[in-house]
Homo-oligomer: A and B are copies of this chain.
Amino acid sequence: MWQSHRNPHSRFLIVSAKNIPCHACPLRRTGGFRANTTEEIAFIQQFKRSERRVSTGDAIVRQGVTSNELYTLLSGWAFRHKSLPDGRRQILNFLLPGDFIGLQQQMAEAAPHGVEALTDARLCVFRSDDLWSLYREFPSLGYDITWLASHEELIVDDGLLSVGRRTAMEGVAMLLIHLYKRAVSVGQTIDDGVPFPIRQHHIADALGLSLVHTNRTLRRLRQLGLYRIDDNILRLPKPNALQRLAGYYDLALTPRPLI
């Protein structure tokens, strides 16, 4: 039995004993992803070398280390982060199922950032040596990877706007809305909420705030009735009020590719 019963985030796991064939990929049934042709899926299937499971807190990618693997997050949450020598840490963005991991390592000698699992998670493992054959044989998939890279940058851009120019209140509000929408878009709805494996110190590190101030900001938002977290499930009872506070304008989420 691979599943750890000690882990508090087991709700994020999809129970399965063996690797999942790409044509039956559960993500493709969420409706959040673009459809692929049978040939493309067959190629993705052989591009996928294996499947790997990691536990909460595990390092998927270590900052400064070289690797020739790429991943797609098949289930679970993670985050990319970058640290200064003295330990100060910035979370660059959060990764949800379907997100592609490791592209930036291809552009540098060593991983310029780390990736850490927020929950127990499953990864589809690819070899970066095979990446070029993907572009050559299925240019459409190459295009998709560009799409994913560009889309992730878009998310980081918005994070940068929050950290640089939004107040603590606005930034936290924005982060909650954004994560909520992303979770819904990959089919993670639970009742009227979404799973939320994020601790306050993650929010602090994502927004460049201190833990103490993050806590106080969250308390104010909670007292305004703008969000609730019970049993690791996030609910936004007044989405419109929250969006107004955040100065939110829609990041039209078009169907996205999946490798």
Chain A interface (Cβ < 8 Å from any Cβ of B): 80, 82, 84-86, 88-90, 92, 103-104, 106-110, 112-113, 131-132, 135-136, 139-140, 142-143, 145-147, 149-154, 156-161, 163-166, 205, 207-208, 247, 249, 251-252, 254
Oligomeric state, in number of copies?
A: 2
Are B82 and A157 in contact (CB-based, < 8 A)? Answer: yes
| Majority-rule SS of A interface residues | helix
Option from B85, B131, B160, B205 in Cβ contact (under 8 Å) with A159: B160
Q: Chain B residues near A163 (CB, 8 Å)?
A: 160, 163-164, 208
CA distance A83 to B47 in the complex (A): 40
Are A82 and B158 in contact (CB-based, < 8 A)? Answer: yes
CA distance A176 to B85 in the complex (A): 19
Q: How far is the CB of A251 from chain B (nearest CB, A)?
A: 7
Q: How far is the CB of A32 from chain B (nearest CB, A)?
A: 14
